[in-house]
């Protein structure tokens, strides 16, 4: 792809051209029905979906009354947020879902035929940061990087005077979140949620920008709850604002270009700007426009922006329950209130949404990009890592397989400790370490080898540490046990004095011969 996708519309057009988009022209209800369609499409390996006629109340109109789901809640009982007062009128704002729901669509979004090609771009970026070779390389090698450094300057986010995202500006009494088709994804959800918003804030002390994907529960026509988890950038900005006793300005973007949306979901190193990272991946600067009521910059080619603020002096509100990416409902908890001061949008906006739940869902494919793109960053910090993989059933936080070039006794534990020191990897619950001849992208092979190589008494270590806020298993919120399984071949110094058996493998030349003769012999 020569030019980066400018906005979500160009991405939809590309998906349609490639047979990866299905337009649904019949009415579909944002209450449970859209999410059920999205889940079924993912289960069947189907296309992205564009619901052209969101019709709140359509399920009830057809006599379908979903059974209520009882979700255990903490005491005191959180206040009940009513379902959206949509009425029975169809919305004029179409809803796009499952845009990132396959590896092929992810490749189309990034403009690559293979995710390893995108990972190569990250390696280039790391070379620019550290310089080639030991100690940064020679003067000649540094000079060879000048063209790339100049390219880096051209992809930095660029401020423009205006953009389509501000074709319509709604302020004061015009602000009404219920005018937009927010979805209720699961029967036990506490209400309607915005699920794919790029939430932008600035560090109150340094001015450093953060853009992350955070869910937002609709509380009323001008308010939402802001789900800033403990370990994320938005929560850090909120805590600083709290200490300083000042409001924190917020802009929530629904529908930026696909690479910028991905960048908001990526666990970037602290201090790296998400818009710069997006520009580097898409080889073209992200154009930003200044907000109308907030001193924040937002993607000029977005679809819809909610501008406003969070006041740390205000009482927190109950948010949830919410059907989460763990496959279980995250229970209600206390979060800040986001007050919407303005809605800016295109004249004909497209509403972007996603569902999370029992894996795999669309978030798995977004997480898979991160896995592949961030391997070079992991290898820069821990060079002995050959590859790693987070299987879908591990829901990102529960399980990671790591293949290493083992050099000394206890190497597996050194690598695990290194991974726990890398940003969001600190929340990983179980790390399984194997040798470099194991294909960790095949979980069955990784488990087979690890379980064959490990003695539970000797090779399983339990440590205390931080865990995800969404993990319901630990006795304390966000803190509990973490485990390393050493599935590598053991050295004598690790307590294994017996001979270590060789792995059974077919002779490569014989295997190749059989492949060639397979059809000759009429085998199916």
So which residues are the catalytic ones?
324
Give the H or E element holding residue 466: strand 460-466
Strands (E), 286-441: 287-290, 297-299, 304-310, 317-319, 322-323, 329-330, 333-335, 337-345, 351-352, 385-389, 399-404, 430-435
Q: How many CB atoms lie within 10 A of CB 10?
A: 15
Q: Give the up-direction half-sphere exposure of residue 395: CA atoms within 13 A in the CB hemisphere.
A: 16
Please report, for residues 8, 98, 376, 489, the alpha-carbon distance to residue 40 in angstroms, rounded to integers and kept in the order given.
Answer: 23, 11, 34, 42
Bond into 321 cis (ω within 30): yes
Tell me which residue of 487, 484, 416 sits closest to 450, measured CA to CA. 487
Q: Check: CB of residue 330 under 8 Å from CB of residue 320.
A: yes
Number of H helices, E strands in the chain: 16, 25
Q: Check: CB of residue 424 under 8 Å from CB of residue 468.
A: no
Please report, for residues 22, 55, 320, the alpha-carbon distance to residue 39 in angstroms, rounded to integers and kept in the order given.
Answer: 14, 19, 21
Residue 497: which residues within 8 A CB-CB, separation 6 or more? none
Sheet of 95-97, strands arranged across: 21-24, 48-51, 95-97, 351-352
Local structure of 430: helix, strand or coil: strand
Bond into 360 cis (ω within 30): yes
Q: Check: CB of residue 336 under 8 Å from CB of residue 310.
A: yes
- Give the number of residues written for the chain: 524
Give dist(CA 216, CA 224) in Å, integer: 6
């Amino acid at each position: 792809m020569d030019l980066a996708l400018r906005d979500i519309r160009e991405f939809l057009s590309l998906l349609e051209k490639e047979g990866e988009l299905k337009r649904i022209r019949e009415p579909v209800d944002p209450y449970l029905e859209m999410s059920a369609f999205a889940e079924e499409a993912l289960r069947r390996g189907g296309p992205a979906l564009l619901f052209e006629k969101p019709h709140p109340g359509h399920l009830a109109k057809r006599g379908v009354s979903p059974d209520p789901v009882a979700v255990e809640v903490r005491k005191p009982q959180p206040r009940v947020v009513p379902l959206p007062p949509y009425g029975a009128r169809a919305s004029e704002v179409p809803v796009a879902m499952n845009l990132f729901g396959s590896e092929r669509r992810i490749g189309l979004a990034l403009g690559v035929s293979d995710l390893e090609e995108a990972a190569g771009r990250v390696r280039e970026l790391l070379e620019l940061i550290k310089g080639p070779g030991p100690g940064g390389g020679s003067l000649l090698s540094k000079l060879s990087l000048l063209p790339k450094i100049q390219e880096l300057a051209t992809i930095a986010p660029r401020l423009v005077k205006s953009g389509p995202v501000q074709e319509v500006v709604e302020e004061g009494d015009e602000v009404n979140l219920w005018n937009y088709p927010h979805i209720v994804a699961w029967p036990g959800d506490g209400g309607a949620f915005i699920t794919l918003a790029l939430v932008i804030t600035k560090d109150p002390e340094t001015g450093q920008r953060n853009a992350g994907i955070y869910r937002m529960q609709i509380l009323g026509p001008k308010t939402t709850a802001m789900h800033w988890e403990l370990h994320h950038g938005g929560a850090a900005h909120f805590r600083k604002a709290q200490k300083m006793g000042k409001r924190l300005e917020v802009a929530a973007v629904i529908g930026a270009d696909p690479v910028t949306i991905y960048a908001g979901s990526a666990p970037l190193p602290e201090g790296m700007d998400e818009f710069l990272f997006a520009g580097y991946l898409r080889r073209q600067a992200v154009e930003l426009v200044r907000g109308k009521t907030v001193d924040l910059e937002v993607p000029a080619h977005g679809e819809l922006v909610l501008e406003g603020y969070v006041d740390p002096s205000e009482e927190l509100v109950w948010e949830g329950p919410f059907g989460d990416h763990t496959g279980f409902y995250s229970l209600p908890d206390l979060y800040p209130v986001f007050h919407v001061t303005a809605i800016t949008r295109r004249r004909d906006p497209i509403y972007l949404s996603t569902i999370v739940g029992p894996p795999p869902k669309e978030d798995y494919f977004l997480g898979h990009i991160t896995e592949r793109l961030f391997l070079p960053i992991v290898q820069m910090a821990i060079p002995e890592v050959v590859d790693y993989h987070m299987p879908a059933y591990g829901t990102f936080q529960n399980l990671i397989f790591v293949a290493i070039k083992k050099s000394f006794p206890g190497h597996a534990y050194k690598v695990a400790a290194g991974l726990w020191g890398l940003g969001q990897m600190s929340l990983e619950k179980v790390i399984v370490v194997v040798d470099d001849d194991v294909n960790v992208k095949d979980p069955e092979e990784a488990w087979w080898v690890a379980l064959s190589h490990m003695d539970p008494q000797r090779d399983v270590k339990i440590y205390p540490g931080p865990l995800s806020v969404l993990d319901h298993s630990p006795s304390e919120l966000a803190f509990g046990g973490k485990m390393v399984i050493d599935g590598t071949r053991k050295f004598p110094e690790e307590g294994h004095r017996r001979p270590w058996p060789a792995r059974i493998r077919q002779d490569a030349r014989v295997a190749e011969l059989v492949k060639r003769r397979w059809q000759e012999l009429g085998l199916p």
